[in-house]
Amino acid sequence: MNITRQLLLLLTITIATGTYAKLPEYEVVESPTPVSSYGTITRMIVNSENLGGKVTIDIWTPAGYDESADKAYPVVYAHDGQNLFDASYSFAGVSWAVDRACSQLASDPDFAMPIVVGINNRGAEGLRPNDYFPEKALDYINPEQRDETFIYDTCNDLFLGNEEAAFVAIELKPLVDSMFKTAPGMETTFAMGSSMGGLASMYLLCEYPEIFGGAACLSTHWIGSLDLNPDYTMNDDEVCAYAILDYLSDNIPTDGLHRLYMDQGTKDWDAGYIKYEVIGREIVRDKGYTEENNKLCVYDAKGAGHNEWYWQQRVKKPLRFLLSKEVIYGSGIHSVTADDIVSSADNIIYDIAGKAYFTEDLGQLPSGFYISRGKKIAK
């Protein structure tokens, strides 16, 4: 990307957030890196000023990316990035297989193929809960109840949720937009994560609604803290959970432009979240997110527990919801005007959203309907 577009991207972020933005320092890792059978993964080490440290980033681009010269891709920023693509890098030995899921969804004419940015957690440094806890939820904890929550022990009184959100929104996103063929608008930029990664994704939507158009929160860890028993069961934390829910109620964007996916399993740790998930869904519905207006998608994963294998089984659901061409680009043949068709060259075709392509690229396009000089082409 040329320097002019880099400066325009940084100016856009600066105006939108009121925060001066500059591209962070980074290095591309040549090897070893995660591999994908469904595209290419670029691993980078990004030096974050906000976090005061380095973060490993895995960026998946789909098959055909290099040949799609004029195509701009929506982007999903996904937490716990080491668990997304290559099972050999996942701490549990099972990945979400997001690359495979996206590739399988390519046959759906309403699915907009994304770039997926995997933000590796800093668990090796013991900082995953510190980074992923929605820091401003602390303001909703009554000081008299401080001793009734485990969150201060979980994070050792070091909370970096604001810094992590700022890293993703005003450091990482401009860097990705400068290096890859992205559609950088709010309507084509999303956050996704599970458990505490679900909290971090929700936080990005609430704190940076001008940048993120939607979030997918799987098995959201509503209780916030991580107080474990010897048998690895999780203790409830009502004080922390209600603080998070109160923060959500006050900060979820209500402009009618954003979308939210929420799900929960019914076993293991997920079973303990259900009562808070119910409240969370009530909150967002009261704020205007409904299934009827396509701003909300909820799913009850009956029998599902709390690990990567279960998230792998249902990851297509949030991807399909967030990456609907009809929603993020608009739909219908009416978006292509008669003048467009009459004046277009013989080698230009349009998809149903009105986006133009060269016919030489037809072999690289997803299945669907296209228009060429008034004739509908099924591919």
Residues 134-175: tens digit of each pLDDT: 999 999 999 999 999 999 999 999 999 999 999 999 999 999
Q: Report whether pLDDT(339) > 50.
A: no
Over the range 308-324, which residues count as b (16 or more CB within 10 Å of their CB) and which as e?
bebbbebbbbbbbbbbb
Q: Which residues contact 66 (CB under 8 A, 6 or more apart)?
A: none
**CA quadruple 102, 104, 106, 110: dihedral, nearest 10:** -90
Mean confidence (pLDDT) of the chain: 88
pLDDT in tens, 306-335: 999 999 999 999 999 999 999 998 843 333
**CA quadruple 148, 153, 154, 160: dihedral, nearest 10:** 110
Q: What percent of the chain has pLDDT over 70?
A: 82
Q: Which residues contact 287 (CB under 8 A, 6 or more apart)?
A: 249, 252, 254
Could you give the 3-state DSSP secondary structure of residue 122? coil
Bridge-based pairing state of the strands 39-48 and 75-79: unpaired
pLDDT-based confidence at 374, cuts 50/70/90? very low
Q: Please state the rounded mean pLDDT for residues 129-134.
A: 98
Q: Please state the rounded mean pLDDT for residues 300-305.
A: 97
- Which of 106-110, 131-135, 343-347 is the least confident region? 343-347
In whole angstroms, give the CA distance from residue 256 to residue 100: 31
DSSP conformation class of 112: -
pLDDT-based confidence at 369, cuts 50/70/90? low
pLDDT-based confidence at 346, cuts 50/70/90? low
Q: Please state the rounded mean pLDDT for residues 42-57.
A: 98
pLDDT in tens, 182-225: 999 999 999 999 999 999 999 999 999 999 999 999 999 999 99
**CA quadruple 270, 276, 277, 283: dihedral, nearest 10:** -170
Q: What percent of the chain has pLDDT over 90?
A: 79
Could you give the 3-state DSSP secondary structure of residue 348? strand
To the question of domain 3-328 being in CATH 3.20.19.10, the answer is: no
pLDDT-based confidence at 68, cuts 50/70/90? confident
Per-domain boundaries in the chain: 3-328, 333-378
Long-range (24+ apart) CB contacts under 8 A made by 324-327 are 324/110, 324/111, 324/112, 324/294, 325/109, 325/110, 325/111, 325/112, 325/351, 325/352, 325/353, 326/110, 327/259, 327/294
CB 58 within 8 A of CB 120: yes
